[in-house]
Structures are given as structure tokens and as C-alpha cells.
Amino acid sequence: MNAYMNVVQSYKRNDIDTSSPLRLVVLLYDGAIRFFQLSEKAYSEGDTEKARMYILRAEKIILELLGSLNFEEGGEIAENLADLYRFIIGHCAEINETNYREIIGANCKILTGLREAWSQLEREPNPE
């Protein structure tokens, strides 16, 4: 099993190393959504420590997305994305055992919509 995990990790590393910038953004969204979903599962199982760890990992990804915005070239779109990222991060601070489903669901809905938009951009041919 350990050899299998090494192959999987190597494949993932190669996928990231050879990806386009658009693909990397989609992969970051995938990661954040996955960590929010793992957090929701941990909360439902009563493991708040693990749930918080996953939320922190999702927050780090969102902070990476926020830090990668180019406000000069992105203009209003970059500002709107920054507002959404800040909203999600602010929401993370409010998550607890009683409201985790609502907040995590809202965060995942936002990220899924953004992921789909970036994924669509990735599929479009480059105009030259």
C-alpha cells in the first residue's frame, strides 16, 4: 500500500508541476472544497479538532487564491474575487458544532460556482 501511495503522490506532484495557471486555480478550488467536505464529515462524527484542522487547510488555500490575484490586470473581477475570498475566510471563523452544515455548505456553493467558471475558461481555446 505504501508503494501505491508514493505513486499517487508522484502523479499528483507531476500534475501540479506541469499544469497551466488556469488548471492550478481549478486544483486549488478542488482542494478547498475537499477540505471543507472533510471538515463537515469530521464535525458530523463529533471530531471537532479534526474538523478545525480541515477548515484551516481550506483557509490556507483560500488565502493562496487571494494572494495570487493580480489587481492591476484583473481590475473589478479581481476585486470581486477578493471580496468573495474574504467572505469565505470570515465565514470560517464563525463555524462551530451547531452551524457547520450551513456555513460549510455556503462556502462550498461559492467555491463550486467559481471552480466551474475557471474550469470553463480552461476549456476555451486561446484566441490568438
Tell me, what CATH number does 95's domain have?
Answer: 1.20.120.340
In angstroms, the CA 49 to CA 78 distance is 33
Task: State the total domains in the chain.
Answer: 1
67 inside domain: yes
Distances (CA, A) of 14 to 9, 19, 52: 9, 8, 29
Per-residue pLDDT reduced to its tens digit, 56-115 = 999 999 999 999 999 999 999 999 999 999 999 999 999 998 999 999 999 999 999 999
32's grid cell: 478547498
Q: What is the pLDDT of residue 122?
A: 83
For residues 109 and 9, the model is more confident at 109
Domain that holds residue 44: 20-123
Q: Please tell me the pTM assigned to this model.
A: 0.81
Q: What is the pLDDT of residue 13?
A: 56
Q: What is the pLDDT of residue 20?
A: 85
